[in-house]
Structure 1
Amino acid sequence: MQQDVWGLISPGKTHLTANRTESVERAMSILSAFSTQRPSMSLAELAEETGLHKSTILRLTNSMDIYGFIRRDKDGRFSVGPSVWRLGLIFRRDFTKREHVAPSLKILVEATGETASFYVRNGNERICLYRENSPNLLRFHVEEGMRLRLSTGASGLVLSHFSGEDVGDLSKFNKNGTASSVGHTNPNISSIATPVFDGSGNLMGALTVSGLVNRFDEEARANAIPLLESLARGLSSG
């Protein structure tokens, strides 16, 4: 269990440090603890995951429940509330629309037989905003909303590099900024990803294709890159 760094702060006060509101950060750490792999948690599990005291979690979640961000069922387990979904819909609509991205994902799946995804950056993580899964029974299955480490995978390389971070060895990128990764996230998975920009040249996300290493091999990845880059350019100009 992590040390509760918030325990140094008086519970009845909102403590400000360097333009940061720590009570808000504590609430955000609770929301960030949930994932598709762990959609609900007990009070003890939340305390272990966040490093917050149970009393702090109860106080914050009572307020978050009022605004629909947290729910607690009859068994005492916590989960995210409907307000999170509502904000997610607003984000999707304003950031880049599903109907704008989905056709490109379907084209990639039809052409490669592998899973196609659109990732965006969120702090030190990458989030699968949209996906079209491979029709193959053996596949890299990605759920929309899944959070993965930014330090892994071709999409993580692209999002880090085009956010201005040093990713070390640039040989993983081609001249157009497309990255290739083999066994980086999972030893059985390989992927390619390329950046998508808005009209002002700002990074929107990474268009990605991922598949099993023995099927999505070096030749298959090389064959898929021209289509991937063409579709990314279309999204950027669209």
Structure 2
Amino acid sequence: MAKTSKTPSKTAKAKTAKAETTSGLKGVSAVDRALSVLTAFQRGDGEVSLAELTRRTGLIKTTVMRMALSLESFGLIRRVDDGGYRLDAEVMRLAACYQHAFGLADHVTPVLEKLARATGETASFYTRRGDQRLCLFRVESANQIRMHVQPGDLRPMDKSAIAQVLRHFDRGRATAEIDTPIFTSGVTDPHSAAVATPVFGPGGALLGALALSGPVTRLTPARAEEIRPLLKTAGIDLTTACGG
């Protein structure tokens, strides 16, 4: 049987570092450990074994078990018969509360649908999550050839157009010299290209990156130049709608 590494993932390390440095304060270590267990669940997981949670979090098994008991008492996870764990109903309730309170989907989804219809490419909205970017909303292209990324998927903070927007405009940095939307081709995937622009909220805070993506054979540099004005206008309109 192959041995599994217990080395903490980069994401787990980043979460711990962020918890210790935000505003110069330290959080409660037990809470940090419990949340590291909860956030170790990934898209596509059904149930996750204790051994796998141990590997993903870098915690020892007894610690994971103690944290899981606390999370289970709040209905956030549930232990299944074979000893593994799955997310429970309270997570769904919290997600519904978040979406109801924030209402970002009500603003973003119509914009994505309009862009996808107008350009024939896949339209998406990404936010940053530590050293990764999260696909929050997505409307697929009507074309059969398209990139297969789903809402909830995490992608690297690489040199792609989407990652560049999230990196350059994060925390209100001065970016007057950056010409948006940004276009890149073949960065994350040699077969895909993307063009992205920032969306801001109240106080000029970055909400995320609005993007169009497609295969390099269709979303060429020339095609990107054609759709840049449309994407830029959509980003400005969405910024206004979100209070930016």
What CA distance in whole angstroms lies between the structure 1 residues aligned with 2:94 and 2:126? 18
| CA RMSD of superposed structures (Å) | 2.4
Between structures 1 and 2, the one with greater helix share: 2
SS in 2 for 1:116: strand
Residues 50-69 of structure 1 aligned to structure 2 (within 5 Å): 50-69=57-76
Gap change, CA 1:76 and 1:220, over 3 Å in 2: farther
Instruction: Work out whether residues 7 and 55 of structure 2, in 8 Å CA contact, stay in contact via their aligned partners in 1.
Output: no
What CA distance in whole angstroms lies between the structure 1 residues aligned with 2:42 and 2:236? 31
- The letter for the 2-side match of 1:228 is L
Identity %: 37
Instruction: Work out whether residues 172 and 205 of structure 2, in 8 Å CA contact, stay in contact via their aligned partners in 1.
Output: no
**2:105 corresponding residue in structure 1:** 98
**1:22 corresponds to which of 29, 33, 36:** 29
What CA distance in whole angstroms lies between the structure 1 residues aligned with 2:64 and 2:167? 32
Tell me how far 1:174 sits from its aligned partner.
Answer: 5.3
Tell me how far 1:73 sits from its aligned partner.
Answer: 2.2
Gap change, CA 1:128 and 1:96, over 3 Å in 2: farther
Gap change, CA 1:56 and 1:147, over 3 Å in 2: same
What CA distance in whole angstroms lies between the structure 1 residues aligned with 2:234 and 2:30? 43
**2:196 corresponding residue in structure 1:** 193
Unpaired segments ≥5 residues, structure 1: 5-15
Instruction: Work out whether residues 126 and 208 of structure 2, in 8 Å CA contact, stay in contact via their aligned partners in 1.
Output: yes
Aligned residues: 221
**2:227 corresponding residue in structure 1:** 224
- Deviation digits for residues 173-226 of structure 1 (CA, Å, limit 9, x no counterpart): 852x32222122212111111000124211111101111111111122211111
**1:43 corresponding residue in structure 2:** 50
SS in 1 for 2:214: strand
Instruction: Work out whether residues 113 and 134 of structure 1, in 8 Å CA contact, stay in contact via their aligned partners in 2.
Output: yes
Tell me how far 1:142 sits from its aligned partner.
Answer: 2.1
**2:83 corresponding residue in structure 1:** 76
Q: TM-score, normalization: structure 2?
A: 0.81
- The letter for the 2-side match of 1:114 is E
What CA distance in whole angstroms lies between the structure 2 residues aligned with 1:39 and 1:179? 37
Tell me how far 1:75 sits from its aligned partner.
Answer: 2.9
- Runs of 4+ residues deviating >6 angstroms: none
Instruction: Say if 2:160 is the partner of 1:153.
Output: yes
Q: Which moved more, 1:106-115 or 1:25-34?
A: 25-34
Unpaired segments ≥5 residues, structure 2: 9-19
Residues 111-150 of structure 1 aligned to structure 2 (within 5 Å): 111-150=118-157
Tell me how far 1:68 sits from its aligned partner.
Answer: 1.7
Instruction: Work out whether residues 193 and 209 of structure 1, in 8 Å CA contact, stay in contact via their aligned partners in 2.
Output: yes
- The letter for the 1-side match of 2:187 is H
Instruction: Work out whether residues 172 and 204 of structure 2, in 8 Å CA contact, stay in contact via their aligned partners in 1.
Output: no
Gap change, CA 1:42 and 1:139, over 3 Å in 2: same
SS in 2 for 1:26: helix
